[in-house]
Amino acid sequence: MNISFKNSEEYYARAKEIIPGGVNSPVRAFNSIKLDPIFIERGEGPYLYDVDKNKYIDYVCSWGPLILGHRHPEVIEALTESLQKGTGFGAPTDSETKLVQEIIDAVPSIEMARLVSSGTEATMSALRLARGYTGRNKIVKFEGCYHGHVDSLLIKAGSGALTNGVPTSPGVPSSIAEDTIVLTYNDIEKYRELFYNQGSEIAAVIVEPVAGNMGVIPPEPGFLENLRKITLQYGSILIFDEVMTGFRVAYGGAQELYGIEPDLTCLGKIIGGGLPVGAYGGKKKIMEYISPSGPVYQAGTLAGNPITVKSGLATLNVLKRKNIYEQLNKKASRLAKGIQDAAQESEYNISINRVGSMLCTYFTDQQVIDFSSANNSNIQAFLNYITLMLKQGIYMAPSQFEAAFISLQHDEEHIEKTVAAAKKAFKKLKK
């Protein structure tokens, strides 16, 4: 298939003169596959249409939020109705309370929540709250988990996991990095040792209960259980960052799926139905520590925006219906098996990790259980595969460290087309 990116190339040339890298979030750049980013004109159901009239089956789904696909009629209807009333008031609306009530009804550990405007704000605020509440400074995160671009969370481990954090990004002061301890995902021994030595100084442990920002890595049996047990022992706050997994891996998120309740939970993505959003919530006695009922300050001019809230409510309303997650999981399972079989046909070793409707293909015959096993897979082969898929009209993130998402509007036909494209891609790769 010969596809042209002429208009995208022209738009990109203009954008990169005045926007750093030509994009408003680095993941949108296609540097990894040596292409210019594709500029999008519109989305419809499972499809993206670019400015060169190419059509793609979309597995990025706006990086997770669009679990109902593009322009779901009920979301569009809610948005249209909401627009008639105004775009925001900087004063409370009852819809905000309704959305928070839906979140409380869905997510087992949340008794009270605050709406914010992005996932980054949710994790940043949850950390501040945990520190304010415990009066401690140190936090623990896991290598390869992404929690937004908060200074103290933008840290990845050096080789010694227990040494103090080194900033991953210039601009993060080492004085901030010092309070962030980075451990290996799924490694409970080091975690136990750390708490044994410094447990009384640790304000919070933050984790993606299913890691979705180093591909997809499920928690091994006992991992989340031990995070919960040991934080309780030492009076530290356990924060589940469910910005991606909330309303994705199950209606009540990973905490419903695995039956572990954190103290605080961060949400985002799906709860805004495609509009900018975030939320954090948890035990009432902790949440009441937030201003104006408590001393920890956190605010947002556009937080709980009425249009976002309506879009979120309409989305959750669809997701609440019977068998929605069974359908999503069945499709994702079919896709995973199809890609696995396609690889096998060409005698390619791949390993697919899937939890619910998020999945990731790694070019390795090893099990991927943490950042280093993800990073040790054949990333160049993966990127070649993604490029071959893109050229057949299959839009997947050009990064080994991102998940592919299934939406309600991917049906059998789209999955089969994708599997057929994968077959061709693996054959070509083999040559």
Which spans of this chain sit near ligand PLP (rule: CB under 6 A)?
118-120, 123, 146-148, 208, 212-213, 241, 243-244, 268, 278
Q: Which residue has the tokens 């969370």?
A: 153
Residue (29 or 415) nearer to ligand PLP, CB: 29
State the DSSP code for 403. Answer: -
Q: Do 296 and 290 form a contact (C-beta atoms < 8 A)?
A: yes
For the bound state, the minimum distance from the C-beta of residue 9 to ligand PLP, rounded and expressed in Å, comes to 27
For residue 421 the two structure tokens come to: 């494209």
Task: Name beta bridge partners: 352.
Answer: 361
Residue closest to ligand PLP when measured from CB atoms: 119
Chain-centroid distance of CA 77 in Å reads 26
For the bound state, the minimum distance from the C-beta of residue 99 to ligand PLP, rounded and expressed in Å, comes to 16
Give the max Cα distance, the chain. Answer: 64
For the bound state, the minimum distance from the C-beta of residue 11 to ligand PLP, rounded and expressed in Å, comes to 23
In the structure, how many helices (H) and strands (E) does the chain have?
Answer: 14, 16
Residue (256 or 343) nearer to ligand PLP, CB: 256
CA angle, 408 as apex, 406 and 409 as ends, to 5°? 95
Peptide bond between residue 292 and the one before it cis (omega within 30 degrees of 0):
yes
For the bound state, the minimum distance from the C-beta of residue 379 to ligand PLP, rounded and expressed in Å, comes to 20
234: closest CA among 265, 180, 191? 191
Residue (219 or 414) nearer to ligand PLP, CB: 219
For the bound state, the minimum distance from the C-beta of residue 246 to ligand PLP, rounded and expressed in Å, comes to 9
Residue (144 or 348) nearer to ligand PLP, CB: 144
Residue (148 or 165) nearer to ligand PLP, CB: 148
For residue 303 the two structure tokens come to: 């937080």
231: closest CA among 191, 287, 259? 191
Q: Which residues are the active-site residues?
A: 146, 241, 269
**Strand (E) or helix (H) holding 210:** none
